[in-house]
Structure 1
Amino acid sequence: MSAVGLQHLFAMPELSHYQLHLFTQFDSFKAALPHISFFSVIYSLSDAREERRNCLACLRDLAFTHSDIQRIILASDEMEARLIGHLSPSRLHGIISKAVSLSHLQAELLALLSETHRINDNVLNHWYVSQSRMLSPTERAILRYMSFGYSIPEIATQLERNIKTIRAHKFNAMVKLGVNSDVGLLDAADILTHLPARDTRGSVLSTPVFS
C-alpha cells in the first residue's frame, strides 16, 4: 500500500484520531524514535523479496529494543501473510493481507490498534506453534540448496542421501511452513537463508539494507 493509500485509510472517520507518520526507510524511523512516542508501527510490504527480509529483521530488532511499540505488517497477499506468520523471528501484534477489501482492511486494522499493547492471542499462539515446529538442519540445508537452483537429485548427492529421503524432508518442510508449491518453499528459503537468528543479548538496532 502506497503512502497515499495509507493516508486515505487513516483519513476515514474510524481511524482519523490516530496521528500518522510516514517513513520510506527504517533509518528515518529510527532517527525519529527519540523524539516521537510511537504507539504502533505498521510496515507495508510491496512483495519484494529483499524488502520482506528487511521488514522481518527490522521488526525483530524493534521487538528487542522497543517492545512497547505495537508491530503490524501489511502483507501483499494471503500467501505472504501466512509465510510471515510462520517465519517471523519475533512476535507480531498482527499480520493483515492487503488483498482483502478496503472495508475489511480497515476493520482489521482498527481492531488491532484498539488492542493497545496486547499481542493478539491468535497471532501469539500461532507464533509459538511455528517456533516449536522449526525446520530441522536437514530441511534447512535442502531449502538452502534449492535457493541456489539445485535439483532434488543434486541435493541428494550433496547431502549423501537417497532421493526419496530428500523428497520426504522437502515435504515435511512444506507442511511445517504451510506452503503447497516450490514457489512458496523458495520464498521461505529466501527468508531463512538471509535472516540469521537474533542474539538476544544485543540491545542495538541493526542496520538492514534497503534497495
Structure 2
Amino acid sequence: MMRILCLGLLILCAGCSRPPQPAAARKEEKVSAETKILHFYASPGLLAPGETATICYGVENATAVEINPLVDELRPAFNRCFQVSPRQTTTYTLTATGAGTSTASLVINVSGTAAAKGGASAQKSQMILFFLTSTPSVPAGLPATLCYGVTGAAKVSITPPGPVLEPSERHCFTVKPATTTTYTLTAFKKDGASELQRLTVAVR
C-alpha cells in the first residue's frame, strides 16, 4: 500500500511541474497575430517625367492595407504589385492594420524635380551625375533600391561589394542591408582618375 501511495504522489508532482497549456496556447496565438510588412519597394527608383515605376508590397496578419498618396485600392496580400507615374519626386507610405499597425515608406525620384529629403546627393559632378536611393529607410531584411548615373567613366564599383556595375547614365539595383549601411559609388576614368559619392540606407 505504501509503494502505491508513493507512486501516486510522484505522478501527481510530475503533473504539477508542467506549465498550464492554456497560457502557452494564448502566448502562441498572440505572437502569430502580429501585423507585419514583409516587403515594400519600387523599381526603378528613378524616373524621367512621364515614365512608370512598379511598387510591390507584402503583408502578414493584416485586415486592411492603404497607401498614401492614394494611387490604388489595396488589399492584404503576401505579394502584390501595381504601377505609378508620379509627376514629381514622391514619398509613398504603406500602412498595414490588423491586431496592430505597421508602416513603411519609400521614395520614387523623378529627374528634374527636387530630391526627396533623406535621399542621396544628386549633385552634378564631373563623372557621377547622381547616386540616390528610393528607400532611405527599410525594415531589417527588406531590399533597398539604389540608382546611379555616370558619364565619361570607364568603370564603376560599389562598396560594400554588391552586384557588378557597368557605366550607365541611369541604372538601378537592389541591396539588402542587415544593419544601417553607407554605400560608396566610385567611378573610374581610363587614366585611373576616380570620383566617389556616398549614401546611407538606415535599417530600422
Q: What TM-score does the superposition give when structure 1 sets the normalisation length?
A: 0.25
Bigger radius of gyration, 1 or 2?
2
Between 1 and 2, higher relative CO (CA 8 Å, sep ≥ 6) is seen in: 1
Scaled by the length of structure 2, what TM-score is found? 0.25
Q: Select the structure that is richer in strand.
A: 2
